[in-house]
Structures are given as structure tokens and as C-alpha cells.
Amino acid sequence: MSRAPRLHSLYVYPVKSCAGIALTGAQLGATGLLHDREWMVVDPAGQFITQRQTPRLALVSTALTGTHLQLSTPDGAQVAVPLAHEGELSTVGVWRSRVPAFDAGAAAAAFFSDWLQQPARLVRFDARHRRLSNRDWTGGLAAPNLFSDGYPLLVLSEASRLDLSARVGRDLPLDRFRANLVLDGVPAYAEDQSAQLQLGGGVVLRLGKPCTRCIMTTIDQTTGLPDGDEPLRTLKTYKYDAGLRGVTFGRNAVLMPGAVGATLRVGDPVTLQA
């Protein structure tokens, strides 16, 4: 008997490109899951640093308490930053956006500089500023997000992951794909064929731009090292999007009216709508 469609898992990524946190429940804010991509690592010029250039970021563990963001590395280094931290303001760059952000201070800068073996600082998004997703993909909705690549949420189905793994010939863990919401009980790539996703008691998300994939999917998140050219090589054989000039896997999503403030829980029933 097939499983009823449900929310398989939930992930939040407090620091862009660092390890994520598996949750059993999470609240939706205007920019997606609370604290998702609220922090980012930058170089001395204020430009964002990700696993694309520095795979060791994958090994920085994150945790959220009621008051602090906690960070740690495999060598035992640790640092904590208050969730409401407001330090010196600077302007930082993430893709084509230039946005204001609070510097997290000297201790966090030393933590990342030591681990990455290059000058780096941690910054927190200044939520008084609105960074909006491309309206061409949001159905005209004003969809604010923080330091994500461009959209509040990323949706993927477990069946899609399993199908790609089978094509590649080995298991590809979910952490390679950095999805926020993972669906179960739906066919592979069902997320690609749908316009909306309804969860739990009526939360509705609009499914928009297919997620174009990069070298980060080839990095082993347990070692912080590149691991060949998969899954990009296989995705190119059947998931290349000429319009987007890249391979795609998963769908970006934005919140429909009424979703802000709702709580999502693993096991919630889901419905994909055409």
C-alpha cells in the first residue's frame, strides 16, 4: 500500500552554506522558516562565501537555543551569537543583491577565519531591509527572503532523491540538496508538475522557479571535500533547462497569504495542486 502524501522532513540552515538542522516542527515567518539563512559568512570586501569556493563550511555545525545561535567545528572550536544580535552595520553582497547586515563581532570572525584559513566575518541580515524574490517567478507576490539564493523555501520530494540516487548508482544524502521541506508519498518529480503545495491545516505555498544546481551538490557534507562530478553529470542527461542554462532539482517556493505564523510539523499531510 502506498504511503499517504506527507511532510517527510524539515530543515533550517541558520548560516548560509553551513550545516543545517533537522526539525520536527518549525514556524513560518515572512521570509520562510524562522532563522533560515539569517546569517552569512563574508570576506573582507563584504562578499558572501559559500561551499562553492570553500567546501569546509559544510563542517560548521549549527544549533539554535532560545537565545543563541551556536556554532562548532570538528576540531572543537565553538562560538555563540545572540539571536537578536545587532552589531555594527555594513553593506554585504549576496549574488546581485547589496544589503545591510549586522557584524556578529570579533569572536565569530576569529572562529570562521581560523576554520576557513582566510579572513572572514559572520553577519546577520538586517530585517528592516526587504530583499525580494524575482516577481517573474512568484506570480507577482512580494516574497521577502534573507540570505537564501533568492527564494524563501526549497521543496524536494524523497522520491526524486531516490530516483536520482538510482540513476547515479549510489545513495545521495538529502544534505547534498539543502531543501527546507522534503515530501514523501508523492511520485518522483511531482513537485515539478505542480503549481501549489498545501500542508497541514491549510498552509499554501506557491511553487515557482525550478532550483538550478551547482557544484555544492558534489560536495560530501560529512568530509567537506569534493566528491567527483555527480550528481551534476547525471542531472545533465535528463534535467537540463535550456531557459535557465543549468540543471534543476527541486522547486523554490513562496508563501501565499495566510501562511505567515503557521507551524509546520513533520508528518503533516500534503497536497500538490496543479
Quote the CA–CA distance of 43 and 251 in Å, as a whole number.
29
pLDDT in tens, the chain (274 residues): 468 999 999 999 999 999 999 999 999 999 999 999 999 999 999 999 999 999 999 999 999 999 999 999 999 999 999 999 998 999 999 999 999 999 999 999 999 999 999 999 999 999 999 999 999 999 999 999 999 999 999 999 999 999 999 999 999 999 999 999 999 999 999 999 999 999 987 899 999 999 999 999 999 999 999 999 999 999 999 999 999 999 999 999 999 999 999 999 999 999 999 8
Quote the CA–CA distance of 103 and 93 in Å, as a whole number.
13
> Strand locations in 104-218, DSSP E?
121-125, 131-132, 144-145, 153-157, 181-184, 196-199, 203-212
Fold entry, domain 6-273: M1 Pyruvate Kinase; Domain 3 (2.40.33)
Output the pTM of the full model.
0.96
CA distances from 147 to 1, 99, 172, 193 (A): 41, 9, 25, 27
CA distances from 112 to 37, 122, 173, 190 (A): 16, 8, 26, 39
Identify which of 155, 159, 160 has the alpha carbon closest to the alpha carbon of residue 181: 155
